[in-house]
Amino acid sequence: SKVTKRYIAILDGEVDCDNGTIELPFRVDIDNRPHQIYDPVHGKVGITHWKKILVKDGKTRIEFTPITGRTHQLRVHSASEHGLNIPIVGDPLYGTGTGPGMMKLHACYLSFAHPETGETLEFNSEPLF
């Protein structure tokens, strides 16, 4: 069954392009768990579609639609120089966040087929930022 997820994030800088797709191989950094690192040889590919919503005060509001569901995928795709090269605001692992609850990443949409009825269920949640 197909699951669709969308996220809203605020990135700590200005994204130039309007939209795109990031396909980036990465894996856990064995010496620095749970940190994930770019690895074109041993990494597994994560795929994310993204769309710029707004640039304001030097930061970019963006919508992410992950196609794969890898650990830290959106955070790595944002921060990596092979992705958008701009971390999510408040990200303590890949950006400048210093405490819990600071990261501006919010799951705003989820849809999937009900396992018994097959009915498509949809959930929306607007971010507070």
Annotate 21-34 with three-state secondary structure: EEEEEEEECCCCCC
Q: Give the tens place of pLDDT for each residue, 30-81.
A: 999 999 999 999 999 999 999 999 999 999 999 999 999 999 999 999 999 9
Q: What is the mean pLDDT of residues 5-17?
A: 97
**Looking at the predicted structure, is the pLDDT value of residue 1 above 80?**
no
- Mean pLDDT (the chain, rounded): 96
Q: Please tell me the pTM assigned to this model.
A: 0.94
**pLDDT the model gives residue 95:** 95
Q: What is the mean pLDDT of residues 110-126?
A: 97
| Cα dihedral 12, 17, 23, 29 in deg (nearest 10) | -20
Q: Give 8's strand partners.
A: 63, 106
